[in-house]
Amino acid sequence: MNAYRRLEIREVADVTVVRFRDQKIVEDLNIQELGQELFQLVEKERREKILLNFSSVEFLSSAALGKLITLDKKVKAHNGKLRLSNIRPEIFEVFQITKLNRLFDIKEEEADALAGF
């Protein structure tokens, strides 16, 4: 398995659970690297069920949201499922304002998200 600089990856049954190493996802270079690592899960490693756990994330830039939208498209193109969990209220508010809470399947807790797969 590849080493990831921006992500912590673990398997729960057939679901790939991803946690972010960075608390603030704002710098362009980091976001590019984060995007590449997320896309690699789908395109190279062929992971079909991905859960992004945001428990460590305190701030997310709009550029990072763009990477999540692209990831969602890639997962769907590979007939996979993407879920998000543990999003702080202030970040979830951004998802609501941008209506991304309708695009993404978001659960409050990781356990709830895992149960839905």
Residue 75 covered by a domain? yes
Residue 2 covered by a domain? no
Residue 79 covered by a domain? yes
Specify the pLDDT at position 2.
59
* Joined tokens for residue 70: 């692209």
Residue 102 covered by a domain? yes
Residue 49 covered by a domain? yes
Residue 43 covered by a domain? yes
Q: Into how many domains does the chain fold? A: 1
Residue 44 covered by a domain? yes
List, for residues 31-71, the tens digit of each pLDDT value.
999 999 999 999 999 999 999 999 999 999 999 999 999 99
**E strands, 2-115, in order:** 7-12, 15-20, 24-25, 49-53, 59-60, 81-85, 105-107
Q: Is the pLDDT of residue 109 over 80?
A: yes
Q: What's the domain range around 57? A: 7-116
Specify the pLDDT at position 116.
84
CATH number at residue 102: 3.30.750.24
**Model's pTM, two decimal places?**
0.95
